[in-house]
Amino acid sequence: MLNFTFVQSVRILNGKGCISQIGELLKQAGYQKAFVVCDKILETNGVLDKIRKSFAASRISSVIYTDVRPDPPADLIEKGAMLCKAESCDCVIGIGGGSSIDTAKGINILRFNPGSVLEYAQKPMQHCSGLIAIPTTAGTGSELSNGAIVSDPEHDVKMPIMCLENMPEYAVLDPELTMTMPYRLTLLTGLDTFSHCYEAYTSSLSNPMTDLICEKMLETVVEYLPVALAEPENCEAREKMQYAASIGGWMLYNACAHVGHSIAHVLGAKLHIIHGAACAYDTPVVLKAISTAVPAKVRKIGELLGAEYTGAENPEEIGVKAAQAYQAFVKRLKLDPIQVDSSGIDDTLLAELVQSVVNEPFAGLTPVKIEEALTEKMLREILF
């Protein structure tokens, strides 16, 4: 069986102001009626006005669906899919952050596949066409990744769905759409990008081609995230971060994430910690945990963050220095300390969190074996 290790199938339209071409893009692709998925903020900040104007110029009709929430719940995806089919829309556009794009992915799955969207976390789907992604944040990379995260509120879990048969046909990357992100959103989405790149770089599916790209994207985040935070209207910094986020999503497609995202998914579902923040809180402990398996890569990450090495460090010391460099980086960027009441985490809940992380799908791609003892150690360091 052939093992292809480098794939990129999404056609990308990029550049300042390119959102004005969305109508022309749909017309050229043969679509006539778009189901637009976004949150309510885009109704008030002028982005939807730009899209409607472009649609009108190309005679594209549309239905707007704004029932989007963070960690998109399955019921709202299924509600959107019913409306999309009732309106006979022939394409789905996800515009916004990862929640909007993942909601759009879920809706598009149900255009071509029966049942609940959660079923497709476990079973294959038919091919799904007509999906377009337009990110307005620089973090999730969902526009180029092969996954979608859907929440099951009934069981307090976040389910990753592999979307190899539901990739966007087009991604529209307009850095102007990210320039209104407030400081905290810019920070947390940027740190999510860092996590995608370092986890893909150190996962068991990484390869020399993805390694080269991940190293450059980590360097890009370290250089340009501080600039985007300090100068929010700096278009070059916004553009660099948008590209890093998208390419980070592409690296997830090719090399995947590992236990850092397993922990973030579990803490997000069980303790309601924002995803980018959860990734940032667990990065130092994960770097230390994996340093024994991939010391050269952890050292490279540390060096990109400003750590200095003598060459005499053992793998554990390499991990500690990389973790300290990351902690210094996020401290300079004013990441808030974790906001969790650890007194409310008893032995029963901790054991539940441990099992959830160990059984989370991405955990098996970590370069070290994720067992209960190691997982409990990591969670205690994060939460207590």
Show the CA angle centred on residue 48, arms to residues 47 and 49, nearest 5°. 90
d(CA 299, CA 215): 12
What proportion of the chain, given as a percentage, has pLDDT over 70?
100
pLDDT score recorded for residue 8: 87
Q: Which CATH class is domain 183-383?
A: mainly alpha
The region of weakest confidence among 4-8, 101-105, 160-164, 279-283 is: 4-8
d(CA 350, CA 19): 46
Residue 132 has pLDDT above 80, yes or no: yes
Residue 46 has pLDDT above 90, yes or no: no
Q: Which CATH class is domain 11-178?
A: alpha beta
Side by side, the strands of the sheet bearing 33-37 are 11-14, 170-173, 131-135, 91-96, 33-37, 61-65
pLDDT score recorded for residue 156: 84
- Convert the pLDDT of each residue in 311-327 to its tens digit: 999 999 999 999 999 99
Please, which pLDDT band fits residue 258 given cuts at 50, 70 and 90? Answer: very high
Write the DSSP assignment of 20-83 as a string of letters.
GGHHHHHHHHT--EEEEE--THHHHSSHHHHHHHHHHHHT-EEEEE----SS-BHHHHHHHHHH
Strand residue runs (E) in the chain: 11-14, 33-37, 61-65, 91-96, 131-135, 147-152, 157-162, 170-173
Rounded to an integer, the average pLDDT of 8-37 is 96
pLDDT score recorded for residue 55: 97
| Pairing of the two strands 157-162 and 147-152 | antiparallel
Numbered ranges of CATH 1.20.1090.10 in the chain? 183-383
pLDDT score recorded for residue 342: 86
Q: How far is CA 220 from CA 89, 174, 245, 347, 358, in A?
A: 38, 18, 10, 41, 31
In 96-126, which positions are buried (b, 16+ CB within 10 angstroms) versus exposed (e)?
A: bbbbbbbbbbbbbbbbebeebbbbbbeeebe
Mean pLDDT, the chain, rounded, equals: 96
Residue 4 has pLDDT above 80, yes or no: no
- Convert the pLDDT of each residue in 138-160 to its tens digit: 999 999 999 999 999 888 888 88
pLDDT score recorded for residue 2: 76
Numbered ranges of CATH 3.40.50.1970 in the chain? 11-178
pLDDT score recorded for residue 3: 75
Rounded to an integer, the average pLDDT of 325-337 is 97
Which tokens belong to 101?
């794009």
Residue 236 has pLDDT above 80, yes or no: yes
Residue 114 has pLDDT above 80, yes or no: yes
pLDDT score recorded for residue 211: 98
- Convert the pLDDT of each residue in 180-235 to its tens digit: 999 999 999 999 999 999 999 999 999 999 999 999 999 999 999 999 999 999 99
